[in-house]
Amino acid sequence: MNVGVAHSEVNPNTRVMNSRGIWLTYALGVGVLHIVLLSIPFFSVPVVWTLTNVIHNFGMYVFMHAVKGTPFETPDQGKARLLTHWEQLDYGVQFTSSRKFFTISPIILYFLASFYTKYDTTHFVINTASLLSVLIPKLPQLHGPQ
Q: Which tens digit of pLDDT belongs to each residue from 70-127? A: 877 777 777 778 888 888 888 888 889 999 999 999 999 999 999 999 999 999 999 9
Residue-range definition of the domain harbouring residue 88: 13-70+77-141
Is residue 4 one of the residues assigned to a domain?
no
> What's the CA gap between 72 and 24, in Å, rounded?
24
Is the separation of the CB atoms in 102 and 17 below 8 Å?
yes
Specify which residues 68 forms β-bridges with.
Answer: 84
pTM of the model: 0.88
The answer to whether residue 104 is domain-embedded is yes
Q: Is 7 a member of any domain?
A: no
DSSP conformation class of 64: I
Question: In terms of pLDDT, which residue wins out, 22 or 8?
Answer: 22
| Number of domains making up the chain | 1
In a domain, 41, yes or no: yes
Residue 35 inside a domain? The answer is yes
Mean pLDDT score, 120-140: 96
The answer to whether 142 and 118 are in contact (CB under 8 A) is no
Q: Considering the domain boundaries, does residue 48 fall inside one?
A: yes
In a domain, 100, yes or no: yes
Q: 3-class DSSP state for residue 68?
A: strand
- With a CB cutoff of 8 Å and minimum separation 6, the contacts of 144 are none
Whether 21 is in a domain gets the answer: yes
- Does residue 18 register a pLDDT over 60? yes
Give the residue ranges of DSSP H helices in the chain: 22-38, 45-60, 85-88, 97-116, 121-135
Whole-number percent of the chain with pLDDT over 90: 59
Note whether 114 and 127 are within 8 A (CB): yes
